[in-house]
Structure 1
Amino acid sequence: MDLVNFTDLLSVSTLVRNSTHFPVPASNVIIAFLLCTSVIIGTITNGLYLWVLKFKMKKTVNTLLFFHLILSYFISTLILPFIATTYLQDNHWSFGTAMCKIFNATLSAGMFASIFFLSAISIDRYLLTLHPVWSQLHRTPRWATGIVLGIWLSATALAVPYLVFRETKDDHKGRVICQNNYAASPNWESNKMQTLGKRIHVACFISRFLLGFLLPFSIITLCYKRRNGLPSCEHVGGFVV
């Protein structure tokens, strides 16, 4: 398997620098190299896992949840080449406003989806261990399909702000920057819009922190502690766990 050669990336960065007239820092080249390496490894490994889970394993709650968890990783991996290109152009965004919105919204949706699927897997393990009777009656692939659909819809909804607030802006140095405009107004510089943007930024940050970290982290930690609180071999509801 041929990985992206560091020398080739240096050559690419030289071509980009000559065509865009932007000096590319060495740190950007290193980051782009790491991103490209992640794309190659991530695409191959995640693609292989998806193929095995889809075609070589029986459809169960476990395989369904893990399939979509890895799918969220796979989708995010496909965005990385565009981010690497931006680093090689010294943060110049050359793909247009629409792609600026779509790519960042996709990354955000993939992030939320992966976190939610990890939480769902933890809850599923918790229910299977501590509530085996309920799990045997209700834990079916159809039930899991509803969970999967709910997670993707929730992740997509939480990614909508990127479709609204992500914009491209000329930095007056010849570069186009893809960044958030929380005021959702072309008049970026006015005091009124700056104040409004800060308030929306704080609201978005709090919601992302609560829904994308604190709540999932609490759920995973609680499920882990409750499961580990059980003896290694105990009869629960007529089942040995």
Structure 2
Amino acid sequence: METNTSIHHNTTVNPIPSSDNLAKLRYSLHIMSLCVYGVACVLGMLGNGAVIWVTGFRMKKTVNTVWFLNLAVADFLFTAFLPFAITYQALNFNWVFGKFMCKLNSTVNFLNLFASVYTLVAISIDRLVSVVWPIWAQLHRSVRKASYMCLSVWALSLSLSLPYFVFRDTEDVQGSVICYNNFAFSNNYSNPSVIQLVNFRHRALLITRLLMGFIVPYSVIITCYGIIIHRLRSNPILAKQSSRSFKIIAAIIITFFLCWVPFHIFSIIELLRFHPSNQGNALLHVITIGMPFATSLAFVNSCLNPILYVFIGQDFKNKVCNSILKVLETAFHEDDTKTCSKSVSTSESNKSHQGTAV
């Protein structure tokens, strides 16, 4: 995600190791990151491209397909920019794509984070409304309103990502051009007031990302699903009808949480470095060693959703034998909340069947 905070007091770019073991560890992490980025790029573009093709062009538009289409677009956009990060690391942190692409690449990275998590928030609210107020949902829940919600999500996500476009910069250091966060908009780091401004802006960016990219959205998600689970326990019929789509959404949310929480934890550790009692190298080494793991795990999330769509909700053998269109149609099928049970006798009635997802 972020190469470094400032080239003048960070050692993650062209690091000078303090020992041979540390140098070997950093080199191993470097190779690991390249491999993970490469796999995430290939699988993410193929998988999310397939989801976009099916949900955008092959399936009838429903509220569910709107949610999943937007998740896939966010992940596809992210993985489409991964070759820039792969090239940057392969060239030993030498950015050859210019300042604008340095800014744009970082912006897209965090746009994926915010767009994904707030789409999950929208899905959670949609589920809550469908379970708690099913009649209202049947009358008012529509593709158009879901599309407007997604546009709002993208607008909010873009506004939260713009600071990364503003602060990102390039500079030539020892023959290599690095892409980094220049919070001072200058190279004058000898002035105490400039250093204070840099630390303030860095803290503000980290706190905003932690609050708006993790704490606030996941508080909403957990609250929604706590209410949903409580309601489903008291209504076994409703719980049975919604079990398939509930499992898929729950798996996506849990996977997103597990993939991103280490990155946010290291963001908290990075915040601790600003405390006067934590100015040594211990936390810096922890961040230098741990952040590649956390970032790689976050990157992997971008290629996992299509896999979850395929392998949750049906028997494994059946899903492998089915075509990708049939698999995704099954995964994204809207649940029927209008009746407790409904028998479908022909393929024609299957096509005409419509319901409200829970």
Which TM-score applies when normalising by structure 2?
A: 0.57
CA deviation map 1:32-79 (0-9, x unaligned):
122112111111111111111112221111111110011101100011
| One-letter amino acid of the structure 1 residue matched with residue 186 of structure 2 | S
Q: What CA RMSD, in Å, does the superposition of the two structures yield over aligned residues? A: 2.1
1:146 shift after superposition: 1.0
Secondary structure of the 1:177 match is strand
Question: CA offsets, 1:150-170, max 9 Å, x none?
Answer: 011111111110111001122
3-state DSSP of counterpart to 2:169: strand
Distance 2:146 2:127 in 1: 13
Give the letter aligned to residue 184 of structure 1.
F
Deviations 1:181-205 (CA, angstroms, capped at 9, x unpaired): 1223343443222111111111111
Does 1:70 pair with 2:72?
yes
Q: Partner residue of 1:37? A: 39
Contact kept, 8 Å, 1:185 with 1:193, in 2: the verdict is no
SS of corresponding position for 1:187: coil
Match of 1:176 in 2: 177
Match of 1:199 in 2: 200
Aligned partner (choices 106, 109, 113) of residue 104 of structure 1: 106
Instruction: Note the C-alpha offset of 1:239.
Output: 7.2
Query: Does 1:150 find its partner at 2:152?
Result: yes
Question: Structure 1 stretches of 5 or more lacking a match?
Answer: 1-23
Could you report, residue by residue, the CA deviation over 1:123-179 in whole angstroms, capped at 9, with x for unpaired residues?
1111111111221222111111110110111111111101110011223x2222111
Runs in 1 of length 4+ with deviation above 6 angstroms? Answer: none
Aligned residues: 216
SS of the residue corresponding to residue 81 of structure 2 reads helix
C-alpha distance in 2 between matches for 1:189 and 1:29: 35
Aligned to 1:166: 168
TM-score, normalisation: structure 1: 0.83
Query: Which residue pairs with 2:134 in the alignment?
Result: 132
- Residue identity over aligned pairs, in percent, reads 36
* SS in structure 1 at match of 2:236: coil
User: Could you say if the C-alpha distance between residues 188 and 94 of structure 1 is closer, same or farther in structure 2, counting changes exceeding 3 Å?
Assistant: farther
> d(CA) in 1 for partners of 2:161 and 2:51?
26
- Tell me if structure 2 keeps the 8 A contact 1:25–1:90: no
- Which stretch has the larger CA shift, 178-187 or 109-118? 178-187
For residues 11-50 of structure 1, the aligned pairs below 5 Å read: 25-50=27-52
Greater RCO structure (CA 8 Å; 6+ sep): 2
Aligned: 1:221 with 2:219: no
